[in-house]
Amino acid sequence: MPKICVIGASAMGTALCRPLVDTGWDVAMWGTEYDDAVLDAYALGQTHPAIHVPLAPQVKTYRAKHLDAAVKSAEVLAICVAAVGLPDITRRLALYFSRVRAVWVLTKGFIKDEAGEVYLLAEAMAKIAAENGAELPTLVSIGGPVIARQCALSEPTATVYACQELGAAVHYARAVRTDYYRAFPTEDTTGVEVLAPLKNSYAIALGVTEGIQESTGSPQSNLRAAVFAQAIREMSLVCEALGGRQESAIGLAGVGDLEVTGISGRNKFFGMRLGRGEHPAEAEAQMKAAGHTVEGVYSTPLAVKLIEQRCPQLLDELPLLRAVDEAISGEVDIRKILVSAALPAYPADIFAAQQQSSWNSDWNPVDTGRSWGLAKLVNHFKNRLSQE
pLDDT one-digit tens code per residue, 26-60: 999 999 999 999 999 999 999 999 999 999 999 99
Confidence of residue 148 (pLDDT cuts 50, 70, 90): very high
Summarize the confidence of residues 267-278 as an average pLDDT.
Answer: 97
The pTM (predicted TM-score) of the whole model is: 0.90
Q: DSSP readout, 299-322? A: HHHHHHHHHHHH-GGGGGG-HHHH
Instruction: Answer with the residue of higher pLDDT: 257 or 376.
Output: 257
pLDDT in tens, 341-359: 999 876 655 666 666 777 7
Confidence of residue 363 (pLDDT cuts 50, 70, 90): confident
CATH 3.40.50.2300 describes domain 191-345? no
Mean pLDDT of the chain: 93
Summarize the confidence of residues 221-234 as an average pLDDT.
Answer: 97
What are the strands of the beta sheet with 157-162, ordered from one edge? Answer: 60-62, 26-30, 3-7, 76-79, 102-105, 138-143, 157-162, 181-186
Residue extents of the structural domains in the chain: 3-187, 191-345
Determine which of 35-49, 232-246, 259-273, 352-366 has the lowest per-residue pLDDT on average: 352-366
In this prediction, residue 1 carries a pLDDT of: 83
What is the DSSP code (8-state) at residue 86?
H
How many Å apart are CA 299 and CA 324, to the nearest integer?
A: 11
In this prediction, residue 370 carries a pLDDT of: 53
User: What is the CATH code for 3-187?
Assistant: 3.40.50.720
In this prediction, residue 360 carries a pLDDT of: 72
C-alpha R_g of the chain: 27
pLDDT in tens, 368-384: 555 555 555 556 656 66
In this prediction, residue 381 carries a pLDDT of: 59
In this prediction, residue 376 carries a pLDDT of: 58
Summarize the confidence of residues 128-147 as an average pLDDT.
Answer: 97
In this prediction, residue 119 carries a pLDDT of: 98
